[in-house]
């Protein structure tokens, strides 16, 4: 597992009180782990702070609402981890 995923899993575990063992890359934050949109704000806050990025929640939500992306595209934890890496890469470029 990548260090990004490990950091993400720790954040999810701490903010949402979910055992680390339950947080695996193939899980969807919302549909598998039961995180709701309010819980996700805490996660986004912690992720933004940890990685020095700004998760574009509004853009992602708009894309999902418009049918241009699925929940898995952004919130499957392996994909979320990849998105975070992309945002970090953009920040560092």
- Binding residues (CB under 8 A) for another protein: these are 38, 41-42, 44-45, 48-49, 54-59, 61
Nearer to another protein, 25 or 88 (CB): 88
Q: Which lies closer to another protein via its Cβ, residue 54 or residue 91?
A: 54
Distances (CA, A) of 21 to 6, 27, 58, 67, 76: 11, 11, 30, 32, 16
Task: Kindly state the smallest distance separating residue 55's Cβ from another protein, in Å.
Answer: 6
CB of 66 to another protein, least distance (A): 16
CB of 54 to another protein, least distance (A): 6
Closest of 40, 35, 26, 34 to residue 76, by C-alpha: 26
Distance of CA 44 to the CA centre of its chain: 7
């Amino acid at each position: 597992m990548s260090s990004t995923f490990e950091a993400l899993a720790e954040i999810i575990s701490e903010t949402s009180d979910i055992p680390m063992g339950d947080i695996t890359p193939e899980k969807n934050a919302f549909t598998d782990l039961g995180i709701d949109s309010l819980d996700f704000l805490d996660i986004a806050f912690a992720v933004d702070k940890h990685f020095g990025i700004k998760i574009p929640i509004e853009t992602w939500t708009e894309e999902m609402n418009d049918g241009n992306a699925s929940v898995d595209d952004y919130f499957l934890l392996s994909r979320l981890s990849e998105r975070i890496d992309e945002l970090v890469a953009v920040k560092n470029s």
